Amino acid sequence: MSNENKEKDKLKRRIAGLEKTLQIVTGYSGRIEKNLRQLFEVVSDTMPVPMMISLKTGAILFFNGNAQKIFGYSEKEFRKIAASLLYENPDDRGIFLKTLEDKGEVRDFAVNLKKADGSVFPASLFSRQIVFEGQNCLLTVIHDLSELKQEEEKRLMLERQLRQTQKMEAIGTMAGGIAHDFNNILTVIFGKLELASMMLPGESKVVRYIADALAAARRAKAMTKQILAFCRKTEYARKPFHISTVVAEAYKMIASLTPSDIEVRLGIKAESAIILCDPTQIHQVMMNLCSNAHHALRDRGGVIEILLEEVRAGSQEKIMIPALKSGDYVRLTVRDNGPGIEKNIVDRVFDPFFTTKPSGEGTGMGLSIVRGILQAHGGAVSVDSEPGKGAAFHCWFPLVAQTEDLTESVMPQDTVERHRKNSVRG
Amino acid sequence: MNIKEERYSIVYENNVIKISGKLSIMPEGYERIESFFKEIVGSGPAELVLDIRNLEYLNSSGIKALCIGLILEVETKEGLWLNIRCSKQHRWQLETVPTFKDLIENLNIVFE
């Protein structure tokens, strides 16, 4: 073989080697590219935030599962939609693009975005320019702020409630102190009036005046007693008992005192429920709530419903009634179909000395006392009302046990007797 | 001459070229590596071993450098055989090194 042919052969082999090298390298690059694409898709679908890649023109080239989920578009719809239509105000995308152009990236761009169903949610956008599939694109990550906003609102509500509670405690402490001192003064007034009365002849006009003064002093004493009850200075004689029995007794008394144009209904769905409480306090709660219901129905007649049921307080109830702990409760509801409570005062109805009744008809202490009693028993009271749709007051008493669970050692004697009789009958 | 960098090293000793670490530099970075390979082959070794068992990653430019700078150079030396010692632990080696057989005949590949 001539030298020329040898050189030609050598070159041919070199070219063939280079061609094969090219095949090996492109095959290798293809595998790497495929692996990187898979990695990107796995990462984007694993991260718990919506993200998408779009062109500046608005065409969406890529979106992850969370983006699809949050906006509610099908894969086909998402590929067709223009990015600007994902904004509540499509002009916001222009501002977003301008920010990106000026700063090279966007961080925490607050905006309202729109879902497929038209609903709007607050979001914060984070974006950077990237090259994707050979084109200059924007990679945008969406931080949904809906939950944060809700949390913020919940926090503000709790703060308001805390401030209200602190205010009530301060009022309670002050009122309790005044009532205590006032009681001492009343004791002297009672003593001196009674002494004066004893020293006068029975037919004396002055005796009548003194009797009037004593009656007024008694009213004052009753009022201080209520204030002290609100301040929880009174010790309650707590014992486990069937709340249904006490509610039924109180219902009888309330029904007998109610005018005929107001119907009082009783529904007991928690016959065996046992709570730890002072039964007289249950009477007081029912009397105070029914007295308000009477007042609401005074000129129009209507229905008062008293309902007793066992309920479980979960996270939802805790949000509505922060004072409530999770657990089982007996809920006593007093509902009327009166005019309801105006929205602007519904938050204040449990405040002491707050009343909508005309001067001289109410002390404004009834609902405060109800709340004080419930708080003292580890429960809570809440109100549901809308103007024109009546009002319902719910009293939540912690459930101690049901009849079947109650042992004789903790059961009061009368309850044990009743239980035995029921068992024999059953 | 040996090449030792933070993420990789190439050491030639007793007819064995040992590459370790992660080799993913830019294409221009391979120029000196290709020259190193050509220098080794040009020194006329009786046999040559390429030990890449500890080479965890090699990018596409590195594949090209191996093919052109070493394997095709071996072909130019009559009677010279190249033995490649690989590791089954590295997926890229399992997928790519066997294709080097397409380049030259005097090549042995051993996976350990």
* Nearest residue on chain A to B64, alpha-carbon basis: A25
Residue A365 and residue A232: Cα distance in Å, rounded? 13
Provide the token pair at A98: 């301008």
Contact A78, A54 (CB under 8 A): no
Q: Mutation test of the interface with chain B: which of A25, A29, A32, A38, choosing the one with the most B Cβ atoms within 10 A?
A: A25
Q: Rounded CA gap, B41 and B73, in Å?
A: 7
Measured CA to CA, the distance from residue A331 to residue A380 in angstroms comes to: 10
Q: How far apart are CA A126 and CA A180, in angstroms?
A: 63
Which pLDDT belongs to residue A1? Answer: 66
Residue A233 is predicted with a pLDDT of 46
Buried b (16+ CB within 10 A) or exposed e, A241-255: bbbbbbbeebbeebb
Q: What are phi and psi of A213, to 5 degrees?
A: -65, -40
Chain A residues with CB under 8 Å of B67 CB are 17, 20-21, 24-25
**Could you give the CA distance from residue B87 to residue A250 in angstroms, rounded to a whole number?**
88
CB contact under 8 A, A24 and B63: yes
Considering CB atoms only, which of A14, A18, A28 is closest to B96? A28
CA–CA gap between residue A109 and residue A128 (Å, rounded): 12
CB atoms inside a 10 Å sphere around CB A192: 12
CA pair distance B69, B32, nearest whole angstrom: 10
Instruction: Return the residue matching tokens 């306090």.
Output: A281
What is the 8-class DSSP label of residue B54? T
CATH number of this structure's domain A239-425, picked from the four choices 3.30.70.360, 3.40.50.1820, 3.30.479.10, 3.30.565.10: 3.30.565.10
- Whether residue A379 contacts residue A243, with contact meaning beta carbons closer than 8 Å, is answered with no
Q: Could you tell me which residue, B83 or A229, shows the higher pLDDT?
A: B83
Handedness of CA A310, A312, A316, A320 (dihedral sign): positive
pLDDT digits (tens, 9 = 90+) for A150-172: 888 888 888 887 787 777 777 77
Please give the interface size between A and B, counted as residue pairs whose CB atoms are below 8 Å apart: 44
Look up the ipTM and state it. 0.85
CB within 8 Å of A197: residues ≥ 6 apart: A207, A210, A211, A214
Q: B67 and A21: CB-CB below 8 Å?
A: yes
What are the pLDDT digits (tens) for A22-71?
999 999 999 999 999 999 999 999 988 999 999 999 999 999 999 999 99
Flag whether pLDDT at B53 surpasses 80: yes
State the pLDDT at residue A2.
Answer: 79
* Whether pLDDT at B11 is above 90: yes
**Reduced 3-state DSSP string for A256-285:** HHCCCCEEEEEEECCCCEEEEECHHHHHHH
User: Shortest CA distance to A24 belongs to which of B25, B58, B93, B100?
Assistant: B100
Give the ranges where A73-145 is alpha helix by DSSP (H).
75-80, 91-103
User: Smallest CA–CA separation between A6 and chain B, in Å?
Assistant: 12
pLDDT given at position A257 = 80
Which residues does chain A have with pLDDT short of 50?
Answer: 233, 405-426
Of the candidates A409, A292, A283, the one whose C-alpha atom is nearest the C-alpha of residue A362 is A292
Q: Chain B: residue nearest A20 by CA?
A: B103
- Residues A290 and A126: their CA atoms lie apart, in Å, by 57
Return the CATH number of the domain spanning residue range A47-144: 3.30.450.20
Query: Strand runs (DSSP E) across B1-112, as ranges?
Result: 3-4, 8-13, 16-23, 48-51, 55-58, 82-86, 107-111
Residue burial B65-74, b: 16+ Cβ < 10 Å; e: rest: bbbbbbbbbb
Average pLDDT of the segment spanning B1-11 = 91
Q: So what's the pLDDT on residue A235? A: 53
CB contact under 8 A, A27 and B100: no
pLDDT of residue A361: 64
Q: Whole-angstrom distance between the N-terminal and C-terminal Cα of chain A?
A: 120
By CB atoms closer than 10 A (0-12, 13-18, 19+), residue A367 is buried
Supply the pLDDT for residue A325.
85
Q: Quick check: A17 and B96 CB within 8 A?
A: no
Residue of A nearest to B67 (CA): A21
Are B102 and A24 in contact (CB < 8 Å)?
yes
Question: How far does the CA of residue A91 sit from the closest CA of chain B (Å)?
Answer: 43
Query: Are the C-beta atoms of A87 and A120 separated by less than 8 Å?
Result: no
User: Min CA distance, A134 vs chain B (Å)?
Assistant: 19
Residue of B nearest to A24 (CA): B99
From the list A260, A262, A386, A390, the residue with the least C-alpha distance to A337 is A390
How do beta strands B82-86 and B48-51 pair?
A: parallel
Q: Is the CATH code 3.30.750.24 the one for domain B3-111? A: yes
Q: CB-hemisphere CA count at 13 Å for A376?
A: 22
Name the residue ranges covered by the structural domains of chain A.
47-144, 152-230, 239-425
Chain A residues with CB-CB distance to B64 below 8 A: 21, 25
